[in-house]
Amino acid sequence: MTTTMTDPLDSASLLARCALPQSLTGASTVDTSSDATAAATSAITHCALADMSALARAGIRGREAADFLAALGFEVPSVPNTAMIQGDGSWLVRLSVGEFLQLAPYIAPEAGIADLPLIQQADDALAKGMRVHSLPRRDSHAWFSLSGSSIPALMAKLCGVDLRSEAFPPGSVAQTSVARTNAIIVNVGSSGCPCFHLLFDIASSHYLWGVMLDAMREYSGEKVTAAALLAHHRG
């Protein structure tokens, strides 16, 4: 079944299994002029918010999860609450000894939204008796991204964890409360320009989107497309 919803960058609605919207892919209706590009870059380095909820994410859990991922060729974080970038640009987040989250922010409009291969691979491994099973996080967790030098100060008003670069460098993970909502925060940016992937219960997406927009006003923050944010942080 396909569900039709409104633009996620305006309402933080989540998309069903359909082609990605032009607001995410940077298609021709998006302003790609040099002035617009410069404005987006300025926002992303200062204070920006993007909805990544249409993009791919998956989880696995089990006593053999780490060995399973290593056998697939993943660079596996050695301790919980850390994340490592992979050769394909995805991030592998270790949430506990036996639970992992893969974030793969690929934009492929012709393919629409597809489950990550990790889901099927884990299901196949479980069927063969391996102690690992899949967690399809796209249906349970919304995904926002916050970027810019002002983001640690902004988040200090919403979260009790110190997210400044000296305490929360790139690759750090926090499982905490953000505006009274349980969330996972992953720093995938740099020391000069933090970028926090924020994952939380999908039912709270509309509420937390509004909270973020309200908090950003103090810092003259802007909404940006997922495509613009990803292009900047991929360098």
Span 64-83, mean pLDDT?
A: 96
Q: Which two tokens stand for residue 110?
A: 């012709």
- Which single residue is written with the structure tokens 């492929």? 108
- Tell me what pLDDT residue 22 has: 45
Lowest mean pLDDT across 83-87, 110-114, 160-164, 193-197: 110-114
**Percent of the chain with pLDDT strictly greater than 70:** 79
The answer to pTM > 0.85 is no
Lowest mean pLDDT across 13-17, 146-150, 165-169, 193-197: 13-17
The residues, any chain, with a CB within 8 Å of residue 27's CB and separated by 6 or more, are 109
- Name all domains of the chain by residue range, CATH numbers in brackets: 31-54+140-233 (3.30.1360.120), 57-138 (3.30.70.1400)
Dump the DSSP string for 92-135. EEE-SSSEEEEEE----TTT-S---HHHHHHHHHHHTT-S-EEE
- Tell me what pLDDT residue 139 has: 84
Q: Distance (Å, rounded) from C-alpha 116 to C-alpha 122?
A: 11
Residue 125 has pLDDT above 70, yes or no: yes
Angle at 147 between CA 176 and CA 227, to 5 degrees: 115
